[in-house]
């Protein structure tokens, strides 16, 4: 059995360790924004706006918010300062899943910089782990002028959907371990946490259930029952054993923080597994089924799921292939939204699972490739990242090895994080969009108060379809779902009512669980175009 470590709230240790003590002639500016985030800005002597600004976004942390130290300025701070950039980093005004406010935190930090030093001609922004989705939101929020390049590192760029994986792990654990002596988590998933339950008691609980060895605890010899429970959890959750305890910390303490922080979900339950098939009959039978509050679900999805609206920003995103905390499938989800001409994804193939386990040369290679692309060179390929990395290593400019693999095929996120729902077409259900993402049903009521369900007509395509009510030769409603994300970051819903009976059309985004209802009153004919639907 591999040793488990206690859950880490600061999960970027390997990268931050690359940063030596900052040196050289420079000015430091520290303070706190109106929103409550601490910041630190380091500006080389002689800096001008033409030299640019680099902003670093740190990873997930539940530690109390405090001042930004030198080793919080990011793994490339020394490199960036030597290249003439000013460097800035924020503590964020929230802990945990801080994406609710980070775009405002960074905007306010930028405004401090701008007031003191002027408007930089170019801003490059990068971040790791949680900082990856913070970076993605910064790009799409458009609150920082002259932002030209971005670099998520092992980023949670799949966005808020990764919390579905977190909720699944917690519920799977409860189903498998809830009745095992000493293994239960002492509070319900939708209830405020028990203050006496901490990282140590979680580690002891996980060990009691699964028999894993945990660093800092006496070694154990697992029983067959413990081994069987461990195998079930790992198989159903699709997680590597090395990350079980870390992921349980995320799914326990991180989840509780997200659910009950008044500036996040404020007690609203934003998660749903009512229709999830876990691929295991016993788990399907035993797992707790939870239903999302619609407003809370929409709030978590909007904080934050990338839309792909990146304008002309150039993005180099890198990931390790065996990351068990922020899984590599995040990159396939991100690539499905961002135009390919704006995004290069580089994957490191590693021998052992790690979170952000890049070498210095691999990280610097991505940064230099991004800089070159922003400066006008052709868009780099994964092969170019490897070539740049090897050059840095060969010149003793940065320590390797270099493991970018241009042949790596990134798996789909659906293979690791189960869909919350699946649209199954039938006579009363229309499935629209790619892979039938949007489920459409219609209820009607006529002038005699008779009611019924709309019946799907033969006239249907991937994006559009129609319904009849009384006679299959008489179409009553036409509806279509369009992917408008490249225009405004949203999916669009249009419908035309060819009848004046009352209709109530329900459209469900099966990927996010968000539901929209469109009502056409009795006696009315209507056509509706909702370009902000999902």
Each domain of the chain, given as residue ranges in start order, spans 13-158+305-360, 160-301, 430-530
462 C-beta neighbours (distance < 10 Å), count? 13
Residue 192: pLDDT band with limits 50, 70, 90: confident
pLDDT in tens, 15-39: 444 444 455 789 999 999 999 999 9
- What is the pLDDT at residue 6? 30
Q: At what angle do helices 360-374 and 382-394 cross, to 10 degrees?
A: 120
Task: Round to whole Å and give the CA distance between 254 and 9.
Answer: 9
Structural contact between residues 330 and 162, judged by C-beta atoms closer than 8 angstroms: yes
Residue 504 has pLDDT above 90, yes or no: yes
Buried b (16+ CB within 10 A) or exposed e, 404-431: beeebebeebeebbbbbbbbeeeeebbb
pLDDT on residue 434: 87
Render pLDDT for 297-353 as a digit per residue (tens, 0 to 9).
989 999 999 999 999 999 999 999 999 999 999 999 999 999 999 999 999 999 999
pLDDT at position 17:
42
pLDDT, average across residues 246-258: 95
The pLDDT, as a whole number, for residue 201 is 95
Kindly tell me if the per-residue pLDDT of 484 is higher than 60: yes
In 270-403, the DSSP E strands lie at: 314-320, 343-348
Mean of the per-residue pLDDT values of the chain:
92
Say whether 147 sits in a helix, a strand or coil: strand
Asked whether residue 3 carries a pLDDT value surpassing 60, the answer given is no
Q: Give the per-residue pLDDT at 237.
A: 94
pLDDT band (50, 70, 90) for residue 73:
very high
Separation between Cα atoms, residue 247 and residue 238, nearest integer Å: 12
Q: What is the arithmetic mean of pLDDT over 183-206? A: 91
Average pLDDT over residues 483-505: 93
Average the pLDDT over each of 23-27, 40-44, 530-534 and give the range with the smallest value.
Answer: 23-27
Judged by DSSP in three states, 124 sits in strand
Contact 170, 254 (CB under 8 A): no
Q: What is the pLDDT of residue 18?
A: 45
pLDDT of residue 232: 98
Helix (H, G, I), strand (E, B) or coil at 79: helix
Q: What was the pLDDT predicted at 11?
A: 32
- Confidence (pLDDT) at 208: 97
pLDDT-derived band of residue 200, with 50, 70 and 90 as boundaries? very high
pLDDT of 23 = 55
Q: Mapping DSSP to helix (H, G, I), strand (E, B) and coil, where does residue 126 land? A: strand
* CATH number for the domain whose boundaries are 13-158+305-360: 3.40.50.1820
């Amino acid at each position: 059995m591999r040793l488990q470590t206690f859950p880490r709230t600061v999960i970027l240790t390997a990268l931050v360790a690359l940063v030596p003590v900052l040196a050289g002639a420079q000015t430091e500016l520290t303070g706190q924004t109106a929103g409550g985030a601490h910041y630190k800005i380091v500006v080389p002597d002689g800096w001008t706006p033409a030299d640019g600004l680099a902003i670093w976004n740190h990873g997930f942390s539940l530690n109390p918010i405090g001042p930004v130290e030198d080793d919080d300025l990011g793994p490339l701070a020394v490199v960036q300062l030597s290249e003439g950039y000013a460097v800035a980093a924020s503590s964020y005004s929230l802990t945990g899943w801080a994406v609710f406010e980070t775009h405002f935190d960074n905007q306010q930090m930028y405004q401090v910089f701008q007031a003191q030093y002027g408007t930089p001609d170019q801003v490059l922004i990068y971040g790791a782990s949680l900082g990856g989705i913070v970076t993605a939101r910064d790009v799409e929020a458009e609150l920082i002028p002259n932002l030209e390049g971005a670099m998520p590192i092992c980023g949670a760029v799949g966005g808020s959907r990764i919390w579905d994986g977190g909720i699944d792990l917690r519920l799977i654990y409860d189903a498998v371990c809830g009745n095992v002596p000493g293994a239960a988590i002492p509070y319900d998933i939708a209830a405020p946490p028990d203050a006496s339950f901490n990282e140590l008691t979680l580690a002891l609980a996980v060990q009691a259930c699964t028999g894993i060895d945990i660093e800092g605890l006496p070694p154990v010899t697992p029983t067959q029952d413990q081994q069987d429970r461990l195998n079930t959890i790992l198989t159903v959750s699709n997680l590597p054993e090395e990350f079980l305890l870390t992921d349980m910390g995320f799914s326990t303490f991180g989840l509780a923080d997200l659910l009950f922080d008044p500036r996040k979900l404020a007690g609203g339950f934003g998660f749903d597994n009512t229709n999830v098939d876990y691929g295991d009959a016993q788990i399907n039978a035993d797992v707790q089924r939870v239903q999302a509050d619609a407003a809370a679900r929409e709030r978590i999805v909007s904080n934050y799921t990338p839309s792909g609206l990146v304008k002309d920003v150039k993005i180099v995103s890198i990931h390790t292939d065996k990351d068990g905390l922020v899984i590599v499938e995040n990159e396939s989800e991100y690539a499905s939204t961002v135009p390919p001409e704006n995004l290069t994804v580089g994957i490191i193939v590693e021998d052992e699972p790690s979170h952000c386990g890049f070498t210095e040369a691999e990280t610097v290679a991505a940064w230099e490739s991004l800089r070159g692309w922003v400066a006008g060179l052709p868009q780099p390929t994964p092969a170019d990242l490897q070539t740049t990395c090897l050059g840095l290593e060969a010149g003793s400019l940065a320590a390797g090895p270099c493991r970018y693999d241009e042949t790596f095929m990134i798996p789909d996120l659906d293979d690791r994080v189960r869909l919350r729902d699946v649209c199954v077409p039938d006579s009363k259900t229309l499935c629209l969009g790619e892979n039938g993402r949007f489920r459409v049903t219609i209820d009607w009521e006529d002038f005699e108060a008779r009611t019924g369900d709309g019946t799907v007509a033969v006239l249907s395509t991937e994006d559009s379809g129609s319904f009849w009510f009384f006679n299959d030769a008489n179409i009553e409603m036409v509806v279509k779902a369009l992917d408008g994300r490249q225009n405004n970051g949203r999916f669009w819903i249009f419908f035309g009512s060819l009848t004046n009976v009352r209709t109530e059309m329900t459209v469900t985004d099966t990927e996010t669980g968000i539901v929209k209802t469109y009502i056409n009153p009795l006696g009315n004919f209507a056509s509706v175009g909702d370009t902000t639907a999902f």
